[in-house]
Amino acid sequence: MKIFTITALLLLFITGGIFAQSDSLAVLKADWKKEKITSGVHLKTFWFNKSLFNSNQNVSILEIKQKRGLYLDLGYDPKILQKTSDFGRQNNALAALNGTFFDMANGGSVDYIRADGFVVNESRLGKNGNRAGHQESALVFNRGKLSIEKWNGKQDWEQSLDGEDIMVSGPLLMLNQTIEKLDTANSFNKTRHPRTAVAITKNKRVLLITVDGRNENSAGMNLFELTKLMRWLNADDAINLDGGGSTALWIKNYMETGIVNFPSDNRKWDHAGERKVANVVLLKKK
């Protein structure tokens, strides 16, 4: 019995390593479709045909060089929900990515939002002031550039963050090239869903990322798989944003609708299934 158990565990370890290596090679060797959006901004898309995490996966990445003439900003409404594409158009943006978690019934973010020194929404903490996993990290916008911060354990952490705009979200996936520990028992972490993420690479590029899901064409990822993807994309820092039916990436004048990925809220494999959200990450020209 012991011999069988040891053999089984060894086999699991070996095959697990083989699959992990195969997955990383699938990402590194993918023939990404690359399109120039403007100077310093490129769109990369690829459909993995049962070749990533033993499943179909559709991944879209807007790669942004943080340079003069471009800046990243926060778009929001304190109460009214709008489509990611509408936020983009109203703000005369080049691109928009859905943001953090929100109140679907009453509007507004359930995570801390600050814009130009004004607190738009407070984080809705749990009983005894406990934080959800999506309230332990943040996107910080400062002079058009973007950084990712981790909760320092203090109750007033959001208020102390130094930035023009703040979007609390999470869970945090990576920080300073180190993978963050995620709760393996949490169903949100271990179940495959459409996912939205932001990463900052070793060469300081910002990646706005969507992974489609809830469709036979794309399974979606759990957060452990998403973290691996971030590492293979050479991320130094990476954060998960709201996903599921909210996942959407919009680019101005891109195809017919501007929507790059396949939002799942209409349960169809098309570009029309956007869900209304409370806030977005915006890319603008100065």
Q: How many domains does the chain have?
A: 2
Are 167 and 113 found together in one domain? yes
Are 216 and 237 found together in one domain? yes
Are 248 and 262 found together in one domain? yes
CB atoms within 10 A of CB 271: 20
Rounded Cα distance between 152 and 172, Å, is 13
Which pLDDT belongs to residue 19? Answer: 52
Are 184 and 268 found together in one domain? yes
Residue 145 β-bridge partners: 142
Are 205 and 65 found together in one domain? yes
Are 6 and 43 found together in one domain? no
Please give the structure tokens belonging to residue 17.
């390593």
Are 62 and 25 found together in one domain? no
Q: What is the mean pLDDT of each run of 10 residues along the chain (286 residues)?
A: 47 48 93 97 98 97 94 97 98 98 97 96 92 97 97 95 97 98 96 98 96 98 98 98 98 96 98 98 95
Are 36 and 124 found together in one domain? yes
Rounded Cα distance between 47 and 212, Å, is 10
- Its domain, for residue 9, covers 1-30
Q: Where are the beta strands (DSSP E) in the chain?
A: 33-38, 41-52, 55-65, 70-76, 82-83, 95-98, 113-115, 118-121, 137-142, 145-150, 165-169, 172-175, 178-179, 195-201, 205-211, 235-240, 249-251, 276-277, 279-285
Are 103 and 176 found together in one domain? yes
Are 37 and 24 found together in one domain? no
Are 143 and 259 found together in one domain? yes
267's CB contacts (< 8 A; 6+ apart) are 214, 273
Q: Which of 194, 172, 205 is nearest to 247 (CA)?
A: 194
Residue 175 β-bridge partners: 178
Residue given tokens 């520990």 in the structure block: 181
Are 68 and 9 found together in one domain? no
Phi, psi at residue 13, to the nearest 5°?
Answer: -65, -45
264's CB contacts (< 8 A; 6+ apart) are 194, 212, 213, 214, 215, 244, 245, 247, 273
